[in-house]
Amino acid sequence: MRMNVFEMEGFLRGKCVPRDLKVNETNAEYLVRKFDALEAKYETLAAENARLNKFIVQSCYVFNGEQDEISDAYICAAGGGMPQIPATDAFLAEIRAEARNEGINYTASRLAAAFNHGFINKSLREVFDVTRMILSAKEELANEPHPIDGLSGEYAEKSLEEWAEQIRKGGNQ
């Protein structure tokens, strides 16, 4: 669980309790448990990083371009394949999910602000529905193990190009 500064201040002053606090666990025990979990996570990431660095040194830099043939060391390293890095994959997936949620929140907030300041000439119901649809993407993406169609933004970018062309031609002013 992530805490912001306000929540941490409340926790340290005894004004609020984190959701994952165990029964009869003191604040100090809670913080030690959380720090231990983070330390274990980063030790695992560091070990995976070391394996990746070893793989890169063995696989990518053995052939220096001056030889006519690829060395046996390269063939052995390449045959072993890239090491598995599940902790790194999980960490990066968590970062991507947070970034997606931030982007979704930002987009919905921009739409709401534009409507509230009179820049969108649509009904309240239409803006409400679109804003809700944007925010619901967080749940949809959280339940998808792989990126779903439209996540790359290609459709929106293509639509913008088409609309810009229509505007240049004087259509739908």
**Structural domain boundaries in the chain:** 1-83, 85-173
- What is the Cα Rg of the chain in Å? 25
At what angle are helices 86-116 and 27-60 packed, to 10 degrees? 110
Q: What is the pLDDT of residue 53?
A: 82
pLDDT of amino acid 19: 86
Residues 166, 159: contact at Cβ < 8 Å?
A: no
**pLDDT tens digits for the chain (173 residues)?**
678 888 888 888 888 888 888 999 998 999 999 999 999 999 999 999 888 888 877 766 555 555 555 555 555 555 566 778 899 888 888 888 888 889 889 999 999 999 889 888 988 888 898 998 888 888 887 777 665 555 566 777 777 788 888 888 886 55
Q: What is the pTM of this model?
A: 0.54
- What's the N-to-C CA distance of the chain in angstroms? 48
C-alpha to C-alpha distance for 150 and 33, rounded to whole angstroms: 40
Going by C-alpha positions, the residue among 11, 33, 37 that lies closest to residue 22 is: 33
Torsional sign, CA 84, 90, 95, 101: positive
Q: Which residues of 44-81 are buried (b: 16+ CB within 10 A; e: fewer)?
A: bbeebeeeeeebeeebeebeeeeeeeeeeebeebeeee
Helix or strand holding residue 138 (H, E): helix 124-142
- CA–CA distances in Å: residue 170 to residues 119, 158, 164, 167: 21, 19, 10, 5
